[in-house]
A and B are shown apart, each in its own frame.
Chain A
């Protein structure tokens, strides 16, 4: 039983060490082999699409068959999924029908969904930005200054200094904060990578240190 847990950890470690070594040691055949490994990753990962398709299909087929709650929507999903898939696999992707569906249906849905964010922003600004604490107050005032700075009208309402202040906030404290987060996160990413390579983080194996 135990080797079923050990083998994956060994594979992880071997793949990781190989990637690291081929990054730093540029002596043939390592660069070529590294390209091969990149290809292996892309090709093997591509096969996961069946898992996704099976998941969507089973979930919604089950709803349609059992006439469960909301089953007509599941039918819509399945028809769109398999209809568009057939179109994309049989007709050329550059073909007019495929492109037409993309531009007018998928594109419209994306654009509309994205533009909804403006409204969510409005309710969040009204509800969540309360001056509950000193921190929240600073956050709110900074946000307000930056917003006014983005209004062409900003100079006239606030007498000229607000856009300059907004620019300063973006240039100084924001740059410092962004860089601090970036550096901390990069260290965290490195540590997580080491833990995964050493088999310390192994939620997929049901390990304790997960």
Chain B
């Protein structure tokens, strides 16, 4: 064993921490060139007529929020600046998603001068199973919600809900998905029967999982993690949180790549000296 193979893991941890903390505090502003998947999502949203109603599904909880909040903010900003109206919802299992939606929508609505009830509505969350709730919403939005929004207001009092009585009245569903239930449920229970287009974003690790569904055309576009959020910020020309952390993200990945190389150099050196068997 040589020294390159014996670095204490705590030193690695410290190097990683310093590598991401420095650019986080002092970003150097690398430029970001949006990838094809992100452009696709942007195009789908961009082509919607003004005033269309879109459902945004907040299917994640505080644990995934550090990675997905910037994407949710970027998407909601984009939707509002295209004058689209938003209904938010969280699938069963994501009881805390409704709270995320509440916080983000409130913040962006103030920024963009949007009004609750006419420009956006938060349907909140329902217990049970997506296999039951989503088909029920396809027939009638009010009944599965027991006729009220997240805050207990009757849906009949909200102007936006006059035109939207069932899922097929929507032009698009945008999801922010971090696991199960997620896009698979929307594909099976909404896209397949109703053919309402689905776009959205997942964590970076969710992207490879979503690829087969994109290939099959069941997802019209998918953003992957923080990079996807940064792409949308560039395309919408609304720089936000994701762009500012891209420097730290790049350095973090480079450091991990460095560890990978370092470990292997150590390994090769040991093998050359004939120290251990491969």
Chain A residues with a Cβ under 8 A of chain B: 38, 103, 107, 110-111, 113-115, 118-119, 121-123, 125-127, 129-132, 140, 143-144, 147-148, 150-153, 155, 163, 167, 170-171, 174-175, 178-179, 182
Which of the listed residues A119, A150, A179 has the most CB atoms from chain B within 10 Å of its own CB? A150
Q: List 10 A-B contacts (CB under 8 A).
A: A111-B62, A119-B16, A119-B17, A130-B267, A132-B278, A148-B257, A152-B250, A171-B211, A174-B211, A175-B212
Contacts of A123 in B (CB 8 A): 9, 12-13
Chain B residues 239-261 with CB under 8 Å of chain A are 246, 249-250, 252-257, 259-260
Contact across chains for B227 and A150 when beta carbons are under 8 A apart: yes
Q: B208 contacts the other chain (Cβ, under 8 Å)? A: yes
7 pairs of A and B residues whose beta carbons are closest in the complex? A126-B259, A123-B9, A110-B63, A152-B32, A126-B263, A151-B250, A107-B62
Q: B137 contacts the other chain (Cβ, under 8 Å)? A: no
Q: B64 contacts the other chain (Cβ, under 8 Å)? A: yes
Contacts of B264 in A (CB 8 A): 129-131, 140
Main secondary structure of the interface of B (DSSP, over half): helix
Q: B215 contacts the other chain (Cβ, under 8 Å)? A: yes
Given contacts A118-B16, A140-B264, A151-B250, 20 further A-B contacts (CB under 8 A): A110-B63, A111-B65, A114-B64, A115-B66, A119-B16, A122-B255, A125-B260, A125-B263, A127-B263, A129-B263, A131-B267, A140-B260, A144-B257, A147-B253, A148-B257, A150-B204, A151-B254, A152-B246, A178-B209, A182-B212
Residue of B nearest to A127 (CB): B263
Asked if A171 meets B66 with Cβ closer than 8 Å, knowing A38-B132, A126-B7, A155-B33, the reply is no
Contacts of B212 in A (CB 8 A): 175, 178-179, 182
Contacts of A115 in B (CB 8 A): 66
Residue of A nearest to B256 (CB): A125
Contact across chains for B252 and A150 when beta carbons are under 8 A apart: no
Q: How far is B209's CA from A53's CA once the two chains are assembled, in angstroms?
A: 36
Residue of A nearest to B264 (CB): A131
Q: B44 contacts the other chain (Cβ, under 8 Å)? A: no
Chain B residues with a Cβ under 8 A of chain A: 7, 9, 12-13, 15-17, 30-33, 35-37, 61-66, 129, 132, 204, 207-209, 211-212, 215, 227, 230, 246, 249-250, 252-257, 259-260, 262-264, 267-268, 278
Q: How far is B257's CA from A153's CA once the two chains are assembled, in angstroms?
A: 14
Contacts of B35 in A (CB 8 A): 163, 167
Asked if A110 meets B263 with Cβ closer than 8 Å, knowing A147-B253, A150-B227, the reply is no
Contact across chains for A152 and B33 when beta carbons are under 8 A apart: yes
Contacts of B30 in A (CB 8 A): 152-153
Residue of A nearest to B20 (CB): A118
Contacts of B37 in A (CB 8 A): 167
Min CB–CB distance A107 → chain B (angstroms): 5
Contact across chains for A174 and B12 when beta carbons are under 8 A apart: no
Contacts of A140 in B (CB 8 A): 260, 264
Q: How far is B262's CA from A131's CA once the two chains are assembled, in angstroms?
A: 12
Residue of A nearest to B128 (CB): A42
Which of the listed residues B13, B15, B129, B268 has the most CB atoms from chain A within 10 Å of its own CB? B13
Contact across chains for B249 and A122 when beta carbons are under 8 A apart: no
Contact across chains for B262 and A126 when beta carbons are under 8 A apart: yes
Q: How far is B207's CA from A175's CA once the two chains are assembled, in angstroms?
A: 11
Q: How far is B257's CA from A125's CA once the two chains are assembled, in angstroms?
A: 8
Contact across chains for B211 and A175 when beta carbons are under 8 A apart: yes
Contacts of A125 in B (CB 8 A): 256, 259-260, 263
Contact across chains for A152 and B31 when beta carbons are under 8 A apart: yes
Min CB–CB distance B149 → chain A (angstroms): 14
Give the residue of A122, A150, A170 whose beta carbon is less than 8 angstroms from that of B211. A170
Residue of A nearest to B16 (CB): A122
Asked if A144 meets B32 with Cβ closer than 8 Å, knowing A122-B16, A131-B267, A151-B249, the reply is no
Contact across chains for B63 and A111 when beta carbons are under 8 A apart: yes
Contacts of A143 in B (CB 8 A): 260
Contacts of A150 in B (CB 8 A): 204, 227, 249, 253
